[in-house]
Amino acid sequence: MPKMPIEIVFDSKIFSADAILGACHKFLAKCFITLEHSEDGKRIIASLTAREGVSAEGLEDEFRAETLNYAVKQKINKGSAKIRDQIFHIVFNPERLNALGGQLQTELETKADPDSVKLSARLEKLLEEIESEESMGYEEDPLGIAVPWEEKHGMPGDLLHPVDQLKRQAENNLINIETVKEIVDC
């Protein structure tokens, strides 16, 4: 049994044919669609016949929502068309892009925030310092990092001769005193 078409009527002052066509395109897989103007030409009538195996339930609401979506998109596109064209014109015109870049840089320099100016001056100074330090040779070693510890501070106080170390261990009963004597006599 053939399915009954669902008729959806749109006011052509609110919804353009293009917006309705855009919505139709999304529903081609779900239903067969015909579009025509009413006799007075003030309305556009969309007839939707669900395809075999597709439920007609909720189809009308979905279609209305999609049409509204397309109508809003179209309105936004129309409103921003001029700006979009200008952006494309600038982007694809290198001379204009460079001129605009230079103008923007000048504006940024003249309208700069005093705090950011201070900060950038400080950063520049720091960078200069780093660069001047980098230019210094590693052999100069102003902090004496390469000097051995013993040379700088001398021998550590508790660094004993091996025999004295053995004697101290014997005093602390860590090793046998007789053994130490034997070693020392040798």
Partner 1 sequence: MSTVEFDKKIFAMKAVKSAVKDYKDFANFDVTERKDRIVVKIDNIDYEPKEVFLGEFGNYVIHKMSVRQ
Residue 18 or 128: the one with the smaller Cβ distance to partner 1 is 18
**Near partner 1 in 75-114, by CB under 8 A:** none
Two tokens, residue 5:
């078409």
Q: Is 48 exposed, middle or buried (0-12, 13-18, 19+ CB in 10 A)?
A: buried
Contact 181, 167 (CB under 8 A): no
Which one of the spans 35-43, 120-128, 135-143, 160-168 is the region binding partner 1 (CB under 8 A)?
Answer: 35-43
Contacts of 180 (CB under 8 A, 6+ apart): 166, 167, 169, 170
Name the nearest CA neighbour of 17 among 48, 2, 31, 38. Answer: 38
Residue 37 or 96: the one with the smaller Cβ distance to partner 1 is 37
As measured in angstroms, the least distance from the Cβ of 39 to partner 1 is 11
Tell me if 24 contacts partner 1 by CB under 8 A.
Answer: yes
Tell me if 148 contacts partner 1 by CB under 8 A.
Answer: no
Which one of the spans 28-36, 85-93, 98-106, 109-117 is the region binding partner 1 (CB under 8 A)?
Answer: 28-36
